[in-house]
């Protein structure tokens, strides 16, 4: 039940209660690290091939994860395709999950599709309000490819509502985007980017060639 009877014959909250409540709040959201990123670590490629300044900033965030989660400090990774943004963001989410916290992991197109699906929810299925609340309450919200969506008034409203609500609740966000700050402001709105900066600080830049397009040497050559 989450409560235990103490020597004083009074009910006391069990240490297991908060993890149970946390899991309940996160049910119905995607918290799965994709197979491609489950084995990533700081001591092997591709992470060892990413800009060391940015990698160290991400490592520092992870080292201070309990405080960052409690105070609502997030991370914002910006740069070209194939420069390691998603890999580093997945490292963050993997570590937060390992520590027993809750994480919601979505690419923006999939997140918007999931939100749209709630409008067609039948009796007994999760409503928009319920899903939105879960997104706001989860310990860490991970959004990949921010800006990778067709700009509509509805999209702008959803993004601002979600990011602003997490800002007000001091809940951190980790985001990746291929867009510069100026491009992102044009795509999702200046006030949404302003809130993002309040949560994440300045973006960690990763500009350069797509590592996935570079030929790799065969191990037996």
Residues 149-196: pLDDT tens digits?
888 999 999 999 999 999 999 999 999 999 999 999 999 999 999 999
Report the CATH architecture of 22-206.
3-Layer(aba) Sandwich (3.40)
What is residue 207's predicted lDDT score, i.e. its pLDDT? Answer: 87
What is residue 120's predicted lDDT score, i.e. its pLDDT? Answer: 85
Q: What is the pTM of this model?
A: 0.83
What is residue 31's predicted lDDT score, i.e. its pLDDT? Answer: 83
Q: What is the rounded average pLDDT for all residues in the chain?
A: 87
Q: How far apart are CA 13 and CA 16, in angstroms?
A: 8
pLDDT: which is higher, 4 or 96: 96
Examine the pLDDT at 124 and tell me if it is beyond 80: no
- Residue given tokens 């091939």 in the structure block: 49
What is residue 221's predicted lDDT score, i.e. its pLDDT? Answer: 31
The DSSP annotation for the chain comes to --EEE-TTS-EEE-TTHHHHHHHHHHTTS--PPPGGGTT--TTSTTGGGS-HHHHHHHHHHHHTHHHHHHHT--EEEEE-TTSSHHHHHHHHHHHHHHTT--EEEEEHHHHHHHHHHHTT--TTSPPHHHHHHHHHHSSEEEEESTT-S---HHHHHHHHHHHHHHHHTT--EEEEESS-HHHHHHHH-HHHHHHHHHHH-SPEEE-S--GGGSPPPPTT-
What is residue 24's predicted lDDT score, i.e. its pLDDT? Answer: 43
* Per-residue CA distances from 51 to 42, 77, 204 (Å): 12, 12, 10
């Amino acid at each position: 039940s989450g409560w235990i009877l103490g020597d004083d014959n009074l009910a006391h909250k069990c240490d297991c209660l908060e993890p149970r409540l946390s899991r309940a709040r996160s049910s119905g959201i995607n918290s799965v690290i994709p197979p491609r990123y489950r084995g990533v670590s700081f001591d092997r490629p591709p992470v060892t091939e990413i800009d060391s300044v940015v990698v160290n900033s991400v490592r520092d965030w992870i080292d201070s994860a309990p405080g960052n989660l409690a105070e609502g400090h997030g991370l914002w990774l910006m740069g070209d395709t194939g420069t390691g943004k998603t890999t580093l963001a997945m490292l963050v989410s993997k570590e937060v999950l390992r520590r027993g916290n809750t994480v919601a992991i979505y690419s923006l197109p999939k997140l918007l599709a999931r939100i749209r699906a709630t409008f067609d929810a039948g009796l007994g299925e999760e409503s928009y309000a319920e899903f939105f609340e879960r997104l706001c309450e989860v310990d860490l919200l991970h959004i990949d490819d921010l800006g990778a969506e067709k700009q509509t008034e509805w999209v702008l409203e959803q993004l601002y509502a979600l990011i602003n609500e997490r800002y007000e609740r001091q809940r951190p966000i980790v985001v990746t985007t291929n867009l510069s700050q100026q491009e992102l402001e044009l795509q999702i709105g200046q006030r949404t980017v302003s809130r993002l900066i309040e949560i994440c600080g300045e973006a960690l830049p990763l500009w350069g060639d797509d590592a996935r397009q570079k030929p790799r040497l065969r191990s037996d050559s």
